[in-house]
Structure 1
Amino acid sequence: MIGSAAAAAAEPAPAPPLAEAVGVSKRFGSTVALADARLTVVPGESHALVGRNGAGKSTLVNILTGIFPPDSGEVRFDGEPAPAPGDRDGWRAKVACVYQKSTIIPELTVAENLFINRQPGTRGVIGWKRMRREAAELLSTWDVQVDPAVPARELNVQDRQFVEIARALSFGARFIILDEPTAQLDKAEIERLFTRMRALEESGVTFLFISHHLQEVYEVCQTVTVFRDARWIATEPVADLPRAALVEAMTGEAADLGRSTGHREPVAAGVRLAVDGLSDGAFEDISLEVRRGEVIGLAGSSASGKIELAETLVGLRKPHTGTATLDGRPLPFGDVRKAMAAGIGFVPRDRHAQGLVPELSVGENATMTISDRLGPLGVITPRRLRSAAAEAIGGLDIKTQGPDQPVNGLSGGNQQKVVMARALAVEPNLLVLINPTAGVDVKSKEALLAIVDEIRERGTSVIIISDELDDLRPCDRVLVFLHGRITAEHAAGWNDHELVASIEGVSS
């Protein structure tokens, strides 16, 4: 007994977690971004953080990196409280995040990016040779095979990531958050990233790995934490968690009980849109057909290529290769005006940045796409504008004081209806909707999706691109994008579990 007690006393105490969030909550106005969230990351592992959009992952990352203070709860590193808000050097020594959107400055060299705002030198004079030498030593230490003298714009996506990791490690941080690191990488680059992660783990670096591709979690991580609806749901060893159970934790629905869309017979009308072998930097070799009166959905992560394909179809982008025809006529790539004239209506992904002119009235915004029809020789007559605007306001039940009200005075849902009205004003044969219900209330969402059902009855074809499963329920088919390719197709009747599994890149 005494010997056992002595042996127990001699055992070293377990090391504290490298990073820990306990009871963390965060609100933005009436929106609950996190509620009693938790995370425990032990040294030397790759720990995955997964969840659907809106689960709270990004808010937690902002709290873990000191950008936002929590409203309640605590963040600790190595068992000690996190640095004080505003102590940037203190935070940099503990944690760094390599974001999906690179923070590397293309115009600077690799060395300048590594030592930005802390260039070596004396009396305010930068020691350029010393900086390049120290940059080379830093890159060599972490086996980052990049020339410190080259401009950062010449690096590929993956090498920019490695430079960002090296920069973070140079501050002393050994906890690195990777936010969607594989989103813009091909298969060979992903494997190279994973090889570097494993090597860095052996050197004492710990990763929090955030990805929409669950198959990658099983390849590179030892532990996974699941968030859903701003709350912690589970933390489990990856090896002990079947794929179906992981998807169930993310959606809250079992594989055989997931919410299902109603079954519909396939649309048998003639082909309206035919896409053949379209490729550009964001998507590759895309071929698909959309029939008259058919509604199809495009699903996938934010960097899957689905949005870029939609923007190509409506004239915002030019593909490198491939063709597309609408009612047998070639689409005018790279020209939005010609795309509208060809019969395409479009609701962009961000109504604030791309959809509305806030200084103009409801009527002016709703009729912007048909201004050439509102008066002779391109001169808009107020009577015709008011008449067309009144028709749009009545048809979509836009809550406004009238056509002359500034559009920025409307609620979010009514602003989105104005954007929809503008797209419908051209009487499109194909309507492309990107995130059509983003930032609107439940009743506005129902009204916007009801419009889809109305226009399909008139023979209009619709493509819905959305991260929200409810937006995809009116679809006759949903095509899933992964790393720029179509990897699955689900007919109406899919349930949440199977669609999410396809989006996340796993089979249950």
Structure 2
Amino acid sequence: MSTPLVEARDIVKRYGPTVALADGRLTVLPGESHALVGRNGAGKSTLVTVLTGLQAPDEGTVRFDGEPAPPLSDRDAWRSKVACVYQKPTVVPELTVAENLFINRQPLHRGFISWRRLRGEAAALLDTWDVRVDPEARTADLKVEDRQMVEIARALSFGARFIVLDEPTAQLDNREIERLFSRMRALQDSGVTFLFISHHLQEVYEVCQTVTVLRDARWITTAPVAELPRRALVEAMAGESIAEREHSRDAVADGAPVVLDARGLTAPAYRDIDLTVRRGEVVGIAGSSGSGKIELAESFAGLYTPASGSAQLDGRPLPFGDVRAALGAGVGCVPRDRHGQGLVFGMSIGDNATMSVLDRLGRFGFVAGERRRRFADELIERLDIHAEGPEQPVSDLSGGNAQKVVMARALASDPRLLVLINPTAGVDVKSKESLLARMDNAREDGTAVLVVSDELDDLRRCDRVLVLFHGRVVAEHPAGWRDHELIASIEGVDSMPAGAGSPAEGVDHG
């Protein structure tokens, strides 16, 4: 057996009275893609901070290629060993690709930056690792997957051959994910080793050879992916047997009142959308990243104004382009990005959860503190948010609990239409189940629910799923669809009717 490229043994890390990692272990062999999985709070992030030299362990050892890890103060030595590509990019968006690749180490000529050499060295680096990006392109203009590859190339330029990928697929669609995986495999063939962190367990089986599970700040198991069935992996993460669940439900009656009725909605991202959602109905919208599905959902939440068409909510015109007016009309929304759109991280859990209903908690602009606290306590209990109380900063929460706060705010106003955009992205198995249970509860309470998601598990809870392809609805799948049927529609397979010029022109219902 070859010497491990990375080996962490008996890692313990405490933050005051909190034990963030009680028994961290990891052994990664050269050239493999190794998955690190576990629920939020399992200790993954803490282990990564130790592996990347951002924190020293209180106990335990880290070795690279059989040699002890460098001292924390030697940042250049750490950069030559390991790099982490985080879910949120660390590139500077306003700089070019070349400037980001060699930031703080630009080639100089007579004390000034040599822009010609900078562009040449950047092009050579990108070519070496087959990263097909224009070195003079502004980084903000790149696709997410290309920004990730720029970060990987930057890490490789320091000599690192061990790359940590932290939720790299969270903002990618199916095609982009497959391209990322193809690039990972090619880099593995060139001697690069990956630690792959993801809540999407199917991706572990697609791209990784070995998996390590952490639970409750402890190492649980390390096993070849091919020898660990998905059910056993989930049970190792959860610490309990996972029973197969059928989300059976009564069909929505044809006579149930229509809550949302949209006709002919057209915008740059979508065209001629007719859509109805009845009381107590959950309608899913699926599609690739360029399908227009997110823009359509955000239109109902007041973020965009369609160029033409109309929508009614409970028989009244739905205001477009005005989030406050949409909220007042009865729309609650969980936005696609909890970091940028969903939470104010300088505020408490209670402030975040109640900001959409302040008018109910006081008069003339004054909010009754005790009333607000009681209301926030009820939301915390209702959403099963694991927190010390409403005054705790929302920035202290794990990803799953932070997303529950976003869901709590959406439900606080008792919406008639609940718009959920990727509601379980980047959360652990139990938090995902809890969030989807809240969606089920809303349905049972008679709320009309619109779910836009890249997660098949989210869409399985829907009464029907509409598929957008190039901005048009090309298919509708009733509950009980099979994975391959929905994926085929999303990818535009068999979506072209006889005589049509392109898959975007319609759907073959035959």
* TM-score for both structures, normalised by structure 2: 0.66
1:114–1:356 CA distance, 2 compared to 1 (3 A)? closer
Deviations 1:111-151 (CA, angstroms, capped at 9, x unpaired): 21111001121553222222222222222222223332333
Q: Which residue, 368, 371, 374 being the options, matches 2:358?
A: 368
Equivalences for 1:154-303 in 2 at 5 Å? 154-255=141-242, 257=243, 265-266=250-251, 268=253, 269-273=256-260, 290-293=277-280
Instruction: Check whether the contact 1:369–1:422 (CA below 8 A) recurs between aligned residues.
Output: no
Deviation at 1:41, TM superposition (A): 0.4
Q: Which residue, 72, 82, 89 being the options, matches 2:69?
A: 82
Instruction: Check whether the contact 2:302–2:326 (CA below 8 A) recurs between aligned residues.
Output: yes
Please state if 1:129 is matched with 2:119.
no
Instruction: Check whether the contact 1:369–1:425 (CA below 8 A) recurs between aligned residues.
Output: no
Deviation at 1:210, TM superposition (A): 2.1
Structure 2 unaligned regions, length at least 5:
287-291, 380-388, 395-401, 428-433, 488-510
Aligned residue identity for 2:227: D
Deviation at 1:19, TM superposition (A): 0.9
Alignment partner, residue 35 of structure 1: 22
Alignment partner, residue 301 of structure 2: 314
Please state if 1:411 is matched with 2:401.
no
Alignment partner, residue 21 of structure 1: 8
Alignment partner, residue 323 of structure 2: 336
Deviates more, 1:53-62 or 1:286-295: 286-295
TM-align CA RMSD? 5.7
Instruction: Check whether the contact 2:342–2:406 (CA below 8 A) recurs between aligned residues.
Output: no
Aligned-partner Cα distance in 1 for 2:318–2:190: 53
Deviates more, 1:209-218 or 1:343-352: 343-352
Aligned residues: 450
Alignment partner, residue 136 of structure 2: 149
* TM-score for both structures, normalised by structure 1: 0.67
Instruction: Check whether the contact 1:356–1:365 (CA below 8 A) recurs between aligned residues.
Output: no
**Which one has a bigger Cα radius of gyration?**
1
1:244–1:283 CA distance, 2 compared to 1 (3 A)? farther
Q: Which residue, 89, 109, 117 being the options, matches 2:96?
A: 109
| Seq. identity, % | 59
SS at the partner of 1:69?
Answer: coil
Deviations 1:130-183 (CA, angstroms, capped at 9, x unpaired): 222222222222222333233323433332222221111110101111222233
Instruction: Check whether the contact 2:264–2:273 (CA below 8 A) recurs between aligned residues.
Output: yes
Aligned residue identity for 2:38: G
Deviation at 1:197, TM superposition (A): 2.1
Aligned-partner Cα distance in 1 for 2:206–2:365: 63
Aligned residue identity for 1:411: E
Equivalences for 1:351-390 in 2 at 5 Å? 353-354=343-344, 368-369=358-359, 374=363, 380=364
Aligned residue identity for 2:391: S
Deviation at 1:240, TM superposition (A): 2.0
Instruction: Check whether the contact 1:452–1:462 (CA below 8 A) recurs between aligned residues.
Output: no
Structure 1 unaligned regions, length at least 5:
1-13, 300-304, 375-379, 400-408, 440-445, 467-471, 492-497, 503-508
Aligned-partner Cα distance in 2 for 1:147–1:454: 47
